[in-house]
Structures are given as C-alpha cells and as structure tokens.
A and B are shown apart, each in its own frame.
Chain A
Amino acid sequence: MAATQVTGTPGEETAAQAAQTEGGTAPAEVDSAQEGHDRPLEAGEAVEEPQSFPVTVIVRRYDPEVDDEPRWVDYDVQMFATERILDALHRIKWEQDPSLAFRRSCAHGVCGSDAMRINGKNRLACKALVKDFDTSKPIYVEAIKGLPLEKDLIVNMEPFFDSFREIQPFLQASSKPEKERHQTIAQRERFDDTTKCILCAACTTSCPVFWTDGQYFGPAAIVNAHRFIFDSRDEASQVRLDILNDREGVWRCRTTFNCTDACPRGIQVTKAIAEVKQAMMTGVKL
C-alpha cells in the first residue's frame, strides 16, 4: 500500500527525477516503503517554480535629526507570495536604504517587537504575509499611533509599559505553598485567553480613546490586569480593580473592538475589558 502512495507526492518529484533511470519506468514492485525508498519513480507533472513579483512598499520615514515632519517614501522590492512584510523591510534595509529603522527580534510572532500599522491596520510585520495583500496597489507601512515617534517605525514604548507596570502584573500571594500552588483546569481556563498577550502594543495603539488621551490605561494594561484578577492563586484582585476603577481606567472604553481586531494573538480584548467592568460591579467571579 505504501509503495503506491509514494508516487503521487509532488514534493518528492525533483529528487525522484534525479534518481530516475533513463526512459522513465514504472516503479518496481516492493514489499514495504522502506525497501522501495530509492527505487525509480515515474515522472509526474512539473511543478511551477514560485515566481517573485515587484511590490511597492511605502514607508513613513522620520529622522528626528533631519525631518520636521514624517514623510512617505516609496520602495520597490521583489517579493514572493509566501514572504512577510518584515522580509520586505529587511530587503529595503539590507539592499536599498540601510538607514531604515524598525524593531524586530524573533521575527516569528512571539516577541512582539514589530507591531506596526500596515495598510491602516495594526499588525505584526512578521505575521503579515504578502499574499494577503493586494499587491497591485502599494502597501503602506507606518509606526503604531498614539505613542511618541522616535525614528521611522520606532516609537517610545515607555508610556505603554508604565501603564502595564501600574496594574501590578505579577502574582501576589501571602502564603507560601509547600511545593506549588494548585489550580484546577477550569480555574486556569478562566484567564487563559489573556495569558497570550505578548505586549506588542497593537491593541493599545489601535484604540481611538488612547490616540486622543495618552493617559488612558489602554487595552493591553487591562488585559494583563485581567490575567491576574481572574487567577485563583492571586490575592490582589481588588487592588487591581481599584487601580482600573479610575477616570482613566476601564470606564473610558467605548467598546469599538479595534483592540480585538488588532490583536495578533487573537485575544478577545474587548471581552476581557467587559469582564473587568463586570467584576467591578458584581465582584470577581472565578
């Protein structure tokens, strides 16, 4: 059975073709896949090699030492459909203009360094695939909004992290467990969604309330407060609720769902904020 299956897989064809004897013969009968792994195969249909195509990327550049105002600069790059916007930025930086400044670290959607506004929507450049964009039109890339612009795609994240620190994002418990703090699966499930946050700031900088009022805690801080408020092991839920029951706290949320749309981890941000509001009115329900 295994021997017949091998013939159809397109990925193996190039390797198989190389090993093929002249003229192309039908595969010899074998007893097992292992025995037949190097036997000649029939030539299949040729697979078309992926072609690169030109993409125009327009980046909002800003050099504080030269520019008074940010300016849009066009770059043409050859891209493959499977590549990401981050690859386009790399290509620009490495091949065209080394002065382009942007943050990125892991480049795989985990570290949260490269949140930026691509075609008007906050995303991680390392998770935005070229094939998902209409490449007949230019792709616009700019820094996330609402935080002080430092250079090109880099913003000052300190106000964002200040809000994060303020909600006390660490476990607070008075007792010391003998070995470890136990939690049921259901108790862990309660705050599972908000543990996914990577602090990329895509949600906070997509929030219209945050754009106009930098004092607002912002979705990311509330999400991280939610992660501890609904943690059965934590004892400082009320402290965090008091901090967020502020003029600049959860009540400023207008439930526009921009944060939920922007979150690259798919966290239901607006729902988390609503749950924190609910906890302020009726107490924390774990």
Chain B
Amino acid sequence: MTTTIENPNYAYPARSAGRRGPNLEKAGWIFMRASGVVLVVLIFGHLAYNLLWTPGGIHAVDFGFVGGKLAQPFWQWWDVLMLWLAILHGSNGMRTIVNDYVHKPTIRAVALWAIGIAAAILIILGTLITFTFNPCPEGADPSLLPSFCAEL
C-alpha cells in the first residue's frame, strides 16, 4: 500500500519566502570573480605602462605624465573601468565582511550605508574628473605640462 503525502515539507517554508526585493547574491558572487580577473589585467597593465614601459619609471610620473595620459580616450576608459571595478569590488567585499561580522541591525545598516555612500562618491567624482580633466591649465609653468600643451 502506498500513501501520498500532499505537501511533505509544509512546516518548513523556504527562508526566502517572506523576503522582498531582488536577490542579488548570485550576481554579486559572479561579479566578484569576473571583476577580479579583469582587475588583475587592468592593474598590472597600469603598473607596467607607468613604471616599466615609460622611461624613467616612478620618477617620470608627474602632472605632465598623468595629464598626457588622461587626454587620450584609451587611457580615460582604462582608468574609468579600473575605478568602477575596483571600487565596486572593494565595497562589495566590505559589505560581505559587514554581513558576516556585524549583528546589531542598526550598526549593520549604518555600516552598509556608509560603504555605499563612500563608493558612490568615489565613483562619481573619479568619473567626472577623468573625463573633464584639463591637462593644460592656463597660466601654469609650461615645463610642468604635457608636451602637446605648447601646440595649443
């Protein structure tokens, strides 16, 4: 004889049943792995270009060098991509640590909001500066500026 139990698991509804909003944990987990791989390329590319490829190494990095780099769309996009991925990757990591270790709901909420606001400010300011940077400010000593400023 067989018996059919209609709803064998009725007493244990899934934890997520009563929860609102989208569940981004999976997306976050995948983002951390994907952005990590891309960041390795971006950061080591950045270091290699600035310190090894450019003659003079660390001593050659000055206002003129950075201004010259940020005048080229290639390096603008490279830097902006690096900025976004690094800040999001880092702050998502911080969020994870807070979720793991902070238990008081108020402190947790404050910490998570602080991380979110800091990340937003850094991303907005960084993006704004990268695309609106003026490498040839008026009245500056020409010896400190990128070489192409003389042609303007």
For chain B, the bracket of interface size reads: 10 to 19
- The interface residues of chain B lying within 8 Å CB-to-CB of A277 are 29
- The interface residues of chain B lying within 8 Å CB-to-CB of A162 are 12
Whole-angstrom distance between the Cβ of B75 and the nearest chain A Cβ: 34
Contact B29 A213 (CB under 8 A): no
Contact B14 A251 (CB under 8 A): no
- The interface residues of chain A lying within 8 Å CB-to-CB of B25 are 245-247, 249, 251-252
Inter-chain CA distance A208–B100, complex, in Å, is 9
Inter-chain CA distance A249–B19, complex, in Å, is 14
Contact A247 B23 (CB under 8 A): yes
With A212-B100, A247-B19 as known contacts, state yes or no: A168 contacts B9, CB within 8 Å: yes
Contact A251 B29 (CB under 8 A): yes
Inter-chain CA distance A247–B100, complex, in Å, is 12
With A209-B100, A212-B101, A213-B100 as known contacts, state yes or no: A248 contacts B15, CB within 8 Å: yes
Q: Is A18 among interface residues, defined by CB-CB distance under 8 A?
A: no
Q: Is A243 among interface residues, defined by CB-CB distance under 8 A?
A: yes
With A212-B100, A247-B19 as known contacts, state yes or no: A242 contacts B14, CB within 8 Å: yes
Inter-chain CA distance A254–B29, complex, in Å, is 11
- The interface residues of chain A lying within 8 Å CB-to-CB of B16 are 242-243, 245-247, 249
Inter-chain CA distance A173–B21, complex, in Å, is 31
Inter-chain CA distance A280–B15, complex, in Å, is 18
Contact A215 B103 (CB under 8 A): no
User: Most chain-B Cβ atoms within 10 A of its Cβ — which of A162, A208, A243?
Assistant: A243
User: Most chain-B Cβ atoms within 10 A of its Cβ — which of A209, A246, A254?
Assistant: A246
Q: Is A165 among interface residues, defined by CB-CB distance under 8 A?
A: yes
- The interface residues of chain B lying within 8 Å CB-to-CB of A74 are none
User: Most chain-B Cβ atoms within 10 A of its Cβ — which of A242, A251, A277?
Assistant: A251
- The interface residues of chain A lying within 8 Å CB-to-CB of B28 are 251
Chief secondary structure at chain B's binding surface: helix
- The interface residues of chain A lying within 8 Å CB-to-CB of B99 are 213, 252
Contact A246 B100 (CB under 8 A): no
Chief secondary structure at chain A's binding surface: helix
- B89-104 CB mask vs A (1 if < 8 Å, else 0) is 0000000000111010
Inter-chain CA distance A251–B11, complex, in Å, is 25
- B24-42 CB mask vs A (1 if < 8 Å, else 0) is 0110111000000000000
- The interface residues of chain B lying within 8 Å CB-to-CB of A215 are 15
- The interface residues of chain A lying within 8 Å CB-to-CB of B9 are 165-166, 168
Contact A245 B103 (CB under 8 A): no
Inter-chain CA distance A217–B16, complex, in Å, is 12
With A165-B9, A170-B8, A213-B100 as known contacts, state yes or no: A246 contacts B29, CB within 8 Å: no
- The interface residues of chain A lying within 8 Å CB-to-CB of B14 are 166, 242-243, 246
- The interface residues of chain B lying within 8 Å CB-to-CB of A217 are 15
Whole-angstrom distance between the Cβ of A104 and the nearest chain B Cβ: 28
Inter-chain CA distance A114–B130, complex, in Å, is 61
| Contacts A/B (CB < 8 Å), 30 sampled | A162-B12, A165-B9, A165-B11, A165-B12, A168-B8, A168-B9, A208-B100, A209-B100, A212-B103, A213-B100, A242-B14, A243-B14, A243-B16, A245-B16, A245-B25, A245-B26, A246-B14, A246-B15, A246-B23, A247-B15, A247-B23, A247-B25, A248-B15, A249-B16, A249-B25, A251-B25, A251-B28, A252-B100, A280-B26, A281-B30
Q: Which 5 A-B pairs have the closest CB atoms?
A: A251-B25, A246-B16, A166-B12, A243-B14, A165-B12
Residue ranges of A at the interface with B (Cβ–Cβ < 8 Å): 162, 165-166, 168, 170, 208-209, 212-213, 215, 217, 242-243, 245-249, 251-252, 254, 277, 280-281
Residue ranges of B at the interface with A (Cβ–Cβ < 8 Å): 8-9, 11-12, 14-16, 19, 23, 25-26, 28-30, 99-101, 103
